[in-house]
C-alpha cells in the first residue's frame, strides 16, 4: 500500500532524529533516501514539508538540513561535548537542549556574544553549572520563525 505524505514525514522525521541523536548531526538527503529506500525526490519533498511545519530548517542552496533543532548540521559557536560525540547547537538554548533531549551530561563551549571571551557550561546529573552569564533572546517569541537563522 502506498504511504501517505504524513506517514512518510513521520518516517523521515524519526530517521533524522535517530541519526542526529546517534552521531550529533542530521542526515543528508542521499543517505536518508538510501537508508529508508525512498526515492530522492520523495525525501526532498518530505524535508520541505517538515521545514514548512517548522520542524526542520533547510539550507536554501541545496535542500539539505541546516537545523534539526536542537542539532546543527554545520559548525556554530555552540560546541556541545557528550560522552559519545561532539556536536553543535544552533544557539545557546539549543546547546542546552541537546543534553536535555539526550538526558546526558555535557560540556558546552561558547563565547560571549559581545566580546568573544570563552565561556564554558556543564550539565551534570540534570543540573547546569559554569561561567556566570545571561541568555539574550533578541526577537520576541512570536517572531522567532521570521528569521530562525538570525534568531
Partner 1 sequence: MLFFRSEEHVDRWCRQWNLPKGALLSLDQGWRLAQAWYGTDRREPDWRRKNVEEAEALFSELGLTSPFWDLRANPVG
Among residues 37 and 132, whose Cβ is nearest to partner 1?
132
Among residues 62 and 151, whose Cβ is nearest to partner 1?
151
CB of 18 to partner 1, least distance (A): 6
CB of 2 to partner 1, least distance (A): 18
Do 68 and 32 meet the contact criterion of CB atoms below 8 Å apart?
no
The string over 51-78, giving b where at least 16 C-beta atoms fall within 10 Å of a residue's C-beta and e elsewhere, is beeebbbbeeeeebbbbbbbbbbeebbb
CB of 116 to partner 1, least distance (A): 10
Residue that has been written with the C-alpha cell 538540513 in this structure: 65
Among residues 41 and 112, whose Cβ is nearest to partner 1?
112
CA–CA dist 13, 51 (Å, integer):
11
CB of 29 to partner 1, least distance (A): 19
Dihedral angle at the C-alpha atoms of 98, 148, 67, 56, nearest 10 degrees?
110
CA–CA dist 73, 151 (Å, integer):
16
Among residues 2 and 142, whose Cβ is nearest to partner 1?
142
Which residues lie near partner 1 (CB under 8 A)? 10, 13-14, 17-18, 21, 53-55, 69-70, 91-94, 96-98, 100-101, 110-115, 117, 119, 121, 123, 126, 128, 130-143, 151
Amino acid at each position: 500500500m502506498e504511504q501517505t505524505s504524513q506517514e512518510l514525514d513521520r518516517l523521515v522525521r524519526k530517521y533524522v532524529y535517530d541519526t542526529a541523536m546517534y552521531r550529533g548531526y542530521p542526515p543528508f538527503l542521499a543517505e536518508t533516501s538510501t537508508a529508508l529506500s525512498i526515492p530522492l525526490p520523495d525525501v526532498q519533498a518530505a524535508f520541505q514539508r517538515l521545514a514548512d511545519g517548522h520542524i526542520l530548517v533547510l539550507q536554501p542552496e541545496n535542500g539539505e538540513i541546516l537545523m534539526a533543532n536542537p542539532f546543527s548540521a554545520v559548525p556554530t559557536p555552540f560546541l556541545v561535548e557528550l560522552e559519545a560525540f561532539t556536536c553543535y547547537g544552533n544557539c545557546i538554548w539549543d546547546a542546552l537542549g541537546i543534553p536535555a533531549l539526550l538526558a546526558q551530561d555535557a560540556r558546552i563551549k561558547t563565547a560571549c556574544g559581545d566580546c568573544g571571551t570563552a565561556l564554558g557550561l556543564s550539565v551534570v546529573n540534570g543540573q547546569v553549572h559554569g561561567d556566570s552569564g545571561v541568555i539574550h533572546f533578541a526577537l520576541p517569541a512570536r517572531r522567532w520563525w521570521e528569521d530562525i537563522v538570525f534568531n
